[in-house]
Amino acid sequence: MMKKNNFLYCDNCALRSQSIFKDLTEEEYSSLFYDKSCASYKKNDIVYEEGNRINGFYCINKGIVKIYKTGKHGKEQIIRFACVGDIFGFRSILSREKACTTVKMVEDSTICMVKADKLHQLLKDNHNFLESVLKVLSKELDEANNRIKNIAQRTVKERMAETLISIHEKFGIDDENYLNLKIKREELAEIVGTATESAIRTISQFKKEGIIKPMGRKIKIIKIDKLRELIEY
């Protein structure tokens, strides 16, 4: 399941310009390097579940995870995906509460864990780091509030368009123009907030209209403007 490996460099994470670690000093960077623990996870492995007590926050060195809440009849509500350089679990550390989401591997991944104390210490010592954390939190909060509005006011079709666009923005496309995220219809439904069958029908409709070209779990966006039209007002 999970293989330990404490000797991973953080370059992937620290060097990304929007990473939360971008402003660490040399000293802080190397102290972080020695304080963290890393582990490999296989697809479908779980880092922690809703209700677990966690001892630190996590950073993705390689791979993609999905972060979700479990609702009625075990139905998952995907909150977000996270990939290289993204952090998760810090919300629970900051509020000193139990985890309020479950984190599962979408593909084989390498995840680093930084102890809670280290987070609090960095917050105290490095004001730029604090700013970054506050910005990440603020951005997530704004996104969450926007989703509330959208799920409440938009149709399934509009929300699906928005979902495809945001996957496009976050993950980009490969050399054949397919989104860099293999995603099941069921998972699309769990983001959009609808039944799997409705997600399927919406995707089929987009396909029929020549807006996208799905190949199983890979999707190519052909007319992104058509998707944008659907969500502008």
Q: Site residues (CB under 8 A) for a second copy?
A: 69, 71-73, 75, 77, 79, 91-92, 94-97, 100-101, 123-124, 127, 130, 133-135, 137-142, 144-154, 193-194, 233
When CB distances are held under 5 to 8 angstroms depending on the partner's kind, the choice from a second copy, DNA, none that residue 31 binds is none
Min dist CB 140 to a second copy, Å, is 6
* 3 state DSSP class of 122: helix
Among 55, 146, 155, 177, binds DNA (CB under 7 A): 155
- For residues 118 and 50, the answer to whether their CB atoms sit within 8 Å is no
When CB distances are held under 5 to 8 angstroms depending on the partner's kind, the choice from a second copy, DNA, none that residue 71 binds is a second copy
Among 74, 149, 216, 232, binds DNA (CB under 7 A): 216
Q: Cα–Cα distance between 189 and 213 in angstroms, integer?
A: 18
Among 83, 130, 200, 222, binds DNA (CB under 7 A): 200
* For a second copy, the closer CB: 2 or 100: 100
Among 28, 196, 220, 222, binds DNA (CB under 7 A): 196
When CB distances are held under 5 to 8 angstroms depending on the partner's kind, the choice from a second copy, DNA, none that residue 177 binds is none
Q: Cα–Cα distance between 115 and 59 in angstroms, integer?
A: 11
Min dist CB 188 to a second copy, Å, is 13
When CB distances are held under 5 to 8 angstroms depending on the partner's kind, the choice from a second copy, DNA, none that residue 198 binds is DNA
Min dist CB 185 to DNA, Å, is 3
Residue 150 within binding range of DNA, rule CB under 7 A: no
Q: Cα–Cα distance between 196 and 193 in angstroms, integer?
A: 9
Angle between helices 156-171 and 196-208 (to 10 degrees): 80
Angle between helices 127-153 and 116-125 (to 10 degrees): 110
Q: Cα–Cα distance between 227 and 172 in angstroms, integer?
A: 16
Among 117, 174, 197, 229, binds DNA (CB under 7 A): 197
* 3 state DSSP class of 193: coil
Residue 100 within binding range of DNA, rule CB under 7 A: no
Q: Cα–Cα distance between 110 and 38 in angstroms, integer?
A: 7
What is the CA angle 176-17-59, rounded to 5? 85
Contacts of residue 29, Cβ cutoff 8 Å, sequence gap at least 6: 10, 14, 21
Residue 194 within binding range of DNA, rule CB under 7 A: yes
